[in-house]
Structure 1
Amino acid sequence: MAPQSSIPAPSNSSPASIVATLFYKTDSPNHAHPHADASPHSPTDHLPEASLSSLNDGSVPTSNMQEYPLEPPTPGPDPLDHLYGSYISQSCLTDFFVTLTTIIPGLEDSSIESRRLDNSKLCRVVEVTFSLPAQSSVTPEGLRQDETISRFEHQWNIEAVFQTNTIYRRYKRLAVFDMDSTLIQQEVIDEIASLIGVEAEVSAITHAAMNGELDFEASLRRRCALLKGVRNPDVWETLKPRITLNHGVADLIKALKRLGYKTAVLSGGFTPLTGWMGQQLGLDYAFANHLVVSDDGLSLTGELTGEIVHAEKKRQHVLEIAEKEGILLEQVVVVGDGANDLPMMGVAGLGVAFNAKPKVQMQAPARLNSKSMLDLLYLLGISKEEQEALLG
Structure 2
Amino acid sequence: MTANSSPSKCSRPSLGAGQRRSSSYLREHQQYRPPSNRPDNHFGIDTVVEDLGTTSITPPQQQTYTQISHFNGIPSPENPPRIVESGLNHELSHTNCAPKPGQRTNRLIATIFYKSNNPRLSNAFPSPQKAPSPVPADSDVPSTDLAAAVAPSSTIENFPLEPPTEASEPEPLDHVYGSYVSPLCITSFLHLMGSFPVPPGSPEPTSSHRCLDDPTHPLVVELVLSPAPAPDYLSLDDLRRHELIYRFEREWNVDVALQPDTLWRRHPRLVVFDMDSTLITQEVIDLLAATITEPADLAGRVANITHRAMLGELEFDAAFRERVALLKGLPETIFENLRPVLKVTNGVKPLLRALKRLGVKTAVLSGGFLPLTKWLAGELGIDYAHANEVVIEDGKLTGEVKGIIVGKERKRDLLVEIAEKEGFSLDQVVAVGDGANDLLMMEKAGLGVAWNAKPRVQMEAGARLNGETILELLYLFGFTREEIELLTA
TM-score normalized by structure 2? 0.69
> Which residue of structure 2 lines up, in the alignment, with residue 223 of structure 1?
323
CA gap 1:89/1:231 in 2 versus in 1, 3 angstroms? same
Q: Are 1:28 and 2:118 matched, yes or no?
A: yes
> Which residue of structure 1 lines up, in the alignment, with residue 237 of structure 2?
141
> Which residue of structure 1 lines up, in the alignment, with residue 212 of structure 2?
117
Q: Are 1:180 and 2:276 matched, yes or no?
A: yes
> Which residue of structure 2 lines up, in the alignment, with residue 363 of structure 1?
460
Separation in structure 1 between the aligned mates of residue 368 and residue 284 of structure 2, nearest angstrom: 7
Tell me, what secondary structure is at the counterpart of 1:87?
Answer: coil
Shift of residue 55, structure 1, vs aligned partner: 2.6
TM-score normalized by structure 1? 0.85
Separation in structure 2 between the aligned mates of residue 356 and residue 67 of structure 1, nearest angstrom: 43
Shift of residue 29, structure 1, vs aligned partner: 2.3
Q: Are 1:18 and 2:113 matched, yes or no?
A: no
Shift of residue 236, structure 1, vs aligned partner: 1.4
Tell me, what secondary structure is at the counterpart of 1:341?
Answer: helix
> Which residue of structure 2 lines up, in the alignment, with residue 334 of structure 1?
431
Q: 1:55 aligns with which of 96, 117, 132?
A: 132
CA gap 1:48/1:169 in 2 versus in 1, 3 angstroms? closer
Separation in structure 2 between the aligned mates of residue 370 and residue 49 of structure 1, nearest angstrom: 20
CA gap 1:262/1:199 in 2 versus in 1, 3 angstroms? same
Task: Report the AA paired with residue 112 of structure 1.
Answer: S
Question: Structure 2 unaligned runs (5+)?
Answer: 1-100, 136-140, 144-151
Q: Tell me how large the CA RMSD over aligned residues is.
A: 2.8
Q: What aligned pairs does 1:106-255 form with structure 2 within 5 A after superposition? A: 111-132=206-227, 136-137=231-232, 138-197=234-293, 198-233=298-333, 235-255=334-354
Tell me, what secondary structure is at the counterpart of 1:103?
Answer: coil
Shift of residue 232, structure 1, vs aligned partner: 1.5
Flag the structure with more relative contact order, 1 or 2, with Cα contacts below 8 A and sequence separation at least 6: 1
Q: 2:363 aligns with which of 247, 264, 270?
A: 264
Shift of residue 386, structure 1, vs aligned partner: 0.3
> Which residue of structure 2 lines up, in the alignment, with residue 36 of structure 1?
none
> Which residue of structure 2 lines up, in the alignment, with residue 306 of structure 1?
403
Shift of residue 365, structure 1, vs aligned partner: 2.1
Task: Report the AA paired with residue 163 of structure 1.
Answer: Q
8 Å CA contact 1:15, 1:135 repeated in 2: no
Separation in structure 2 between the aligned mates of residue 119 and residue 13 of structure 1, nearest angstrom: 34
Separation in structure 2 between the aligned mates of residue 326 and residue 149 of structure 1, nearest angstrom: 36
Separation in structure 1 between the aligned mates of residue 336 and residue 408 of structure 2, nearest angstrom: 28
Tell me, what secondary structure is at the counterpart of 1:307?
Answer: coil
Separation in structure 1 between the aligned mates of residue 388 and residue 196 of structure 2, nearest angstrom: 46
Shift of residue 57, structure 1, vs aligned partner: 3.4
Of Structure 1 and Structure 2, the greater helix share is in: 1
Task: Report the AA paired with residue 29 of structure 1.
Answer: P
8 Å CA contact 1:338, 1:357 repeated in 2: yes
Separation in structure 2 between the aligned mates of residue 14 and residue 134 of structure 1, nearest angstrom: 15
Shift of residue 15, structure 1, vs aligned partner: 5.3
Task: Report the AA paired with residue 383 of structure 2.
Answer: D
What do the CA deviations read for 1:338-375 (whole angstroms, capped 9, x no partner)?
Answer: 11111111111111111111011112222221111000
CA gap 1:16/1:239 in 2 versus in 1, 3 angstroms? same
Question: Structure 1 unaligned runs (5+)?
Answer: 1-10, 33-46
8 Å CA contact 2:209, 2:223 repeated in 1: yes
Separation in structure 2 between the aligned mates of residue 279 and residue 120 of structure 1, nearest angstrom: 38
Separation in structure 1 between the aligned mates of residue 117 and residue 438 of structure 2, nearest angstrom: 25
8 Å CA contact 1:13, 1:134 repeated in 2: no
CA gap 1:385/1:109 in 2 versus in 1, 3 angstroms? farther
